[in-house]
Structure 1
């Protein structure tokens, strides 16, 4: 499961904190709205006062952020978390395999043949389609609420209204192509744009998305 971690720092969780949170939610609603979240206490060795902890969780839930767990919590934090229905999340940290700088793939991955995936049917809301070792091609529409992910490039021969995430293993040469752009989120190798940051002049047009000097670029085709 993929979740967002909110790493707390020492200091008061005051109105300025919640104002900054509201600004972030407004700027990236498709990324954070109703997103599963874990509270990380690694940088708060003294912990939060239980009442402050409860207030934080209540405020996050009021903003439709789905807090479900904690990590790096001490005994007192775990006790409060349990009262709030939060679970203790154990995060494993396996040693990474050596990676190819040009593609972001591990050496083990490069020994496997490419496994490009082609879909000839619509991708509906709530569906997630993944091409773990290659490109992903969809011949048809991708609905709002659907998600495409590929280690390589993504090609959509139809309207793209959901999320498209290319280069998921760090391949900065990956691209996204679509016939009609109305995406909720576009990402390549960790850099992303949400719907609100897409130029109106590119909507409903054939577009390619690519990286250029650590910047996510978009341009019309044809």
Structure 2
């Protein structure tokens, strides 16, 4: 008898998702004017990226009609909105009619209802799984270190993407995207010998090529978070 071939496979997939935080309960003309200006400045950043709406700062914005209008306006701007976060009062059935799902971030996951009976029964922390790439990263490549640091011994081309739970080290020119602290680690750092990146981000805070500090461009640079802002320190 011929061997049976599985008709499907279930695999995990790491995706870079943008969170659009809504800071006003009035999504009106000024709101869309600011959004359109952001698109004009950084069109490549939003192109094709999946988007989650973050309502942490506007917990009262839970009217389905207002949310529908917001989502329709964003999708007309070709934003691929698929979910919401920090919206505990939203009715899931109403969200489904809008083609949205609730998305829980790692920080917002509920604590378990039952504690372990003794410390000895607690699971050991997962060891870091650092990754070292000993060649240049070409345009279109995506390299992920989901549980540790990522080191590239070579350059990172425009259109390439580095993602790490911990720090990112690039011993060469960084022209693509570098996303450190991807699970929310605000103590993560980015180091590179030549900063000319399309985007750098730590724990969700980012700057694009248009907003990089001029003093750090094409210099050996250390990037870190301080007071909820990205700082860039020229090393040499």
> TM-score, normalised to structure 2's length?
0.66
Alpha-carbon spacing, 1:149–1:3, altered in 2? closer, same or farther (3 Å): closer
Counterpart for residue 202 of structure 1: 216
Alignment of 1:51-200 (within 5 A): 53=68, 56-57=70-71, 59-68=73-82, 72=90, 78-79=96-97, 81=98, 87-92=99-104, 94-95=109-110, 111-200=125-214
Single out whichever of 176-185 and 166-175 deviates more from structure 2: 166-175
The alignment status of 1:48 with 2:65, answered yes or no, reads: yes
Gaps of 5+ in 2: 1-14, 113-121
Q: How many residues align?
A: 203
Is the 8 Å Cα contact of residues 156 and 179 (structure 1) preserved in structure 2?
yes
Asked which structure has the greater RCO (Cα within 8 Å, sep 6+), the reply is 1
Gaps of 5+ in 1: 82-86, 98-106
- How far does residue 119 in structure 1 lie from its aligned partner after superposition? 0.5
1:17 is paired with a residue whose SS is helix
Is the 8 Å Cα contact of residues 92 and 102 (structure 2) preserved in structure 1?
no
- How far does residue 75 in structure 1 lie from its aligned partner after superposition? 5.4
Counterpart for residue 22 of structure 1: 36
CA distance in 2, matches of 1:206, 1:181: 7
- How far does residue 31 in structure 1 lie from its aligned partner after superposition? 4.0
- How far does residue 68 in structure 1 lie from its aligned partner after superposition? 4.2
- How far does residue 184 in structure 1 lie from its aligned partner after superposition? 1.6
Single out whichever of 119-128 and 23-32 deviates more from structure 2: 23-32
Is the 8 Å Cα contact of residues 177 and 208 (structure 1) preserved in structure 2?
yes
Is the 8 Å Cα contact of residues 82 and 101 (structure 2) preserved in structure 1?
no
CA distance in 2, matches of 1:10, 1:156: 38
Alpha-carbon spacing, 1:168–1:43, altered in 2? closer, same or farther (3 Å): same
CA distance in 1, matches of 2:216, 2:19: 32
CA distance in 1, matches of 2:233, 2:168: 15
CA distance in 2, matches of 1:170, 1:5: 13
CA distance in 2, matches of 1:196, 1:186: 11
- How far does residue 183 in structure 1 lie from its aligned partner after superposition? 0.8
Alpha-carbon spacing, 1:170–1:56, altered in 2? closer, same or farther (3 Å): closer
- How far does residue 24 in structure 1 lie from its aligned partner after superposition? 3.4
Is the 8 Å Cα contact of residues 144 and 162 (structure 1) preserved in structure 2?
yes
User: Which of 210, 218, 221 is residue 232 of structure 2 equivalent to?
Assistant: 218
